[in-house]
Structure 1
Amino acid sequence: MRVDVHRFPLSDPSDVSGLDAAIASGAIDPSTIAAVIGKTHGNGLVNDYTRGYLMLSLSLLIGARSGRSAESVRESVPFIFSGGVEGVLSPHYTVFTVVPDDAPVGGGQALAIGVGFTAAMRPSDVGRQAQIDAVASSVERLTAEAGITEVHFVQVKGPAFTLADILADQKAGRPSATDNPGKLMSFGRAACALGVAKALGEIPADKAVEAAVLKDFSLFSSVASISAGVEVVANEVVVIGMSSQWTGSLAVEHTTMSDALDVASIHAMVERLGFPPAPQIADAARVKAAFIKCEAQRDGMVRGKPHTMLNDGDINEQRHIRGAVGAIAASILNDTALFVSGGAEHQGPDGGGMIAVIADRAGR
């Protein structure tokens, strides 16, 4: 089997013309679509309904093209969208397909993917041990089923809830970690990240506990990218790595950014993908997708100098950091269609984050 990666621009949250044209031309068989990850025009917060709009538009298209209901498509294909394309970043979505390949396996490592869903979550499950363990179990299973021996990127989309949902669960005797919908998204991202770290052995299992959520930031995953949204009710999980059981010319690498200015780690990572040392990638067409998590440093400093992101009452700090880190990464990768997401709780070190890049090795 082979993973192919197709990236399409997004003029608005209903624009599925790129995928539609690819299906019409025969470039993509809709039955082979395994997952879709993208960035939409919204604010990335609880009331960002652009994510659900794109999910609906894509599921309707894929369903119509494959003779399935949109609901059955959504039940089998993770649609993981994050709002917020500040600065030079470009709205887009990336489609992962899994297709048969006549090339013999065993010729080396190739890109591999595993996708799945946990059981549905209530508001009272978010940020709790139940979410940590559900994600950990899913990552372990998907990694094994896909035969992935090197995990470089795990994208999880967890549920977010409105205040009405939270209060209804509380009234039923199931209080949430917080009754603040935005803060509950943070709890969910943090719990999912600890679940990924537990599954991959990045932290001891006895440390991946509810008591550590949003408290012990020395615990983190170097490959986790977690988002949350009201458009999903379960944790949608995509595990990407390398395996000798898969074929193709695509490869993935990742690195941990120590802080928002850690360009050295990005350069070292792209060189591992075979790009020559340079301030900026020249052959940008080889980059098939890039995924970045980032967050404002919690002590209010960047390399000993103060930042204002956490004190700005007009602009959410996630929008600040997405724009800043997005510009830095885009300048190196020579590409603006990057998945840059804030809210990096337990996803890389405090003030830093993770970056994973999928590239074609054929041009090396």
Structure 2
Amino acid sequence: MKIVDVCAFYSPQGGGVRTYIEQKLRIGPQLGHEIVVLVPGEEHAVIERGPGARIVTLPSPRFPLDRKYGYFADEAALHAALDAERPDVVEVSSPWRSPLMVARWPGSARRSLVMHADPLSAYAYRWFAPMLSRSHIDRGFERYWAHLRQLGEAFDMTVCANHDLAARMREGGVAGVRVHPLGVETGVFSPERRDPALRGRLLALCGLDESACLLVAAGRLAPEKRWPMVVDAVAAASLHRPVGLILLGEGREARAIRSAIGGNPHVRLFEPERDRAAFAAILASADAVVHGCEAETFCMVGAEARASGTAVIVPDSGGAADHARDGAGLTYKAGNRFSLTNAIVKFCAQPISASRLGDVVSNLQHFEGLFAEYRQVRRRSRAA
């Protein structure tokens, strides 16, 4: 098959979507498929990534709130690019304007909406949940739900990477919802990378000895990640048991997070570890990985922790919650610092030995499953 991904969330500067795209460009041709990714760019360019894989940039404006990203503004140019590629399947990786553009494209390709974002959890639920129930919030955002239902009718499937989002989409009346958890680099992340000496060094950076509990967190420093809440919960839990937190990330909320840390010597903020093997060793050497965001569509760091044999402490909703299943971690009430504090205290008192579980999906398995479903959709279309 020839698969074209219309990806508005791609940025050369990094991010989870870019990691996913790079995996697809590498694995798709290995499975016998041609992969083309259309992304917003400063100018038109074709970036070859080997036989059967390339990125095509379309001239597009920058997103005002984050200049690393662009957005598709020229529907005719996008349609022309799709006409030129003549794909068998078109994926769209945004729930905003670009899927409507693809829905209006007159081509015959099958179409898949991949939910790489959960705007209701990231914004509406986070902003209004302290005052309103989720059902009230959903009623207030009925226009967005109508938009999602329209997309569900226009596309052959809507792909979610976690069960919580898929359930909400189905309850909201969105058609064709499928769950395809993303994959993990199982050759990189493994319990075999656990290093007691590294654990000791990380705790020493937090001013603690090896009898303390080591928590690791990683991700963008953005408001929806709730890192100040995580920092406060760790500080509160430290009143019961020595706890150190290593937070790896960068982003616009760095100043707010440093303010939350204050003079606490047991919480350290570092830039991301970009060496994958070194990062895998950090995850495998932690006692637990803690996460604050209930708006994750998958929570890659949670999956990587699970593949590393490391327990997780995660919100009870969103993509992160899936990684605590089958005894692999603890969940707490999303957005609730006191519930998170109690979960950390409970974990420190009774640590979970989360051995590498069999249902961790590899990158290869993810794309094999997703592309197999695309084949089935094409067969049903031809039969019809």
After TM superposition, the score normalised by the length of structure 1 is: 0.27
Higher helix share: 2
Higher strand share: 1
After TM superposition, the score normalised by the length of structure 2 is: 0.26
The higher-RCO structure (CA 8 Å, 6+ apart) is: 1
